Chain A
Amino acid sequence: MGKSIISSKIIILLISFLFILISCISNTDQTNNREYNLFSQIMCPICDGQTIAESQASIAEDMKKMIRDQIKDGKEDKEILKYFEERYGQEILSNPIPKGFNLTIWIAPILIIIISSTITIYSLRKNMGTRSNNDSF
């Protein structure tokens, strides 16, 4: 009997927590933020590791203005990014273009994670059940 009271208390507490969480976040709906998405894909050339979205340097402000103008002219996101890449080289983009050698950036970690996890599981399997002498308590 006592046990069921305990678990019902827990359930009530957790469920109320769940609903608080949901009410916190579901009232905001997504706004389309094309401008900002573009800004965060272009690095500020003079700011060492900041995108123009984060930077207030004059060149970053100018780039933002240029992107807004290009959006007004009806350019696609791809064209805009291409425009900057042609002029500043690939390093202006905050994410490498997924082709050629750049693919290794995604492939290498995934590959290594897969390989090392297989090795770990394999060696665990092999050792499981052997050498149990110390395990006597």
Chain B
Amino acid sequence: MNKLLASSVALIIIGFFIIIIISTINTGGQQGRPGLNEVSGEVSLNFNKFKPIEGDDIYGNKLTEQLIDEELLVIDFWASWCPPCIQEAKVLSDSYKYWKDRNVRFIGIALWDNDKSIKSFVEKYDFQYDVTLDKDGKHAINYGVKALPEKFFINKKGDIVKKYIGPIDKESLDKIIEETLD
């Protein structure tokens, strides 16, 4: 009886430590700044159906509703005040210019931001794709955005294929787009 008790208690304690060790290794013992994705990588999806994005872009033009007519849609949640977004701005701007002729469409959705700084950001980095201001974070919540930047890749069928968080580099972006187009 006593032995049984002692061994079960020992088992619980060992289990406790194993769990703690595993999770510490998983998190790497580090956390980033709140609200910003500073580490990049693909993450798993909570849902995989495209949710329509309606509204006007920053110049007051209606965003077309048939977004998924294209082969591939890339939705980027960003903000002009977000350092990792500034880091990846040139990559996005350049790769859109490369991919736009191949039926790839980009949309930038700016969060917790104002028209003025978005416009100057768009002009500075020469974004040629549609950029809209997400008032009250509706789109962001609809897509389950936690921190900036986050990107969603949506194929022709309207399925969200991939979600990428953190600043993206040219190679990863091209690779994901190529994979999705196949």
Contact = CB atoms under 8 A, between A and B. Distances in A.
Given A46-B147, A66-B136, A87 B34 contact: no
A59 B35 contact: yes
B35 A86 contact: no
9 shortest A-B CB distances, which residue pairs? A62-B137, A87-B144, A45-B146, A46-B35, A58-B112, A88-B144, A46-B34, A89-B46, A62-B136
A46 B77 CA distance: 15
Interface string B133-149: 00011101111101100
A87 B143 contact: yes
B16 interface: no
A48 interface: yes
Given A87-B143, A88-B146, A47 B136 contact: no
B13 interface: no
B21 interface: no
A65 B35 CA distance: 19
Given A86-B47, A88-B46, A66 B141 contact: yes
Contact of B46 (A62, A65, A87): A87
Contacts of B47: 86-87
B25 interface: no
A98 to B, nearest CB: 20
A contact face: mostly helix, strand, loop, or mixed:
helix
A109 to B, nearest CB: 12
Contacts of B137: 58-59, 62-63, 66
Contacts of A58: 111-112, 137
B contact face: mostly helix, strand, loop, or mixed:
loop
Interface string A63-101: 101100000000000000000101111000000000000
Given A46-B146, A88-B146, A62 B35 contact: no
B46 A86 contact: yes
B19 interface: no
A119 interface: yes
Contacts of B34: 46-48, 57
A58 B138 CA distance: 12
Interface in B1-44: 5, 31, 34-35
A94 B86 CA distance: 33
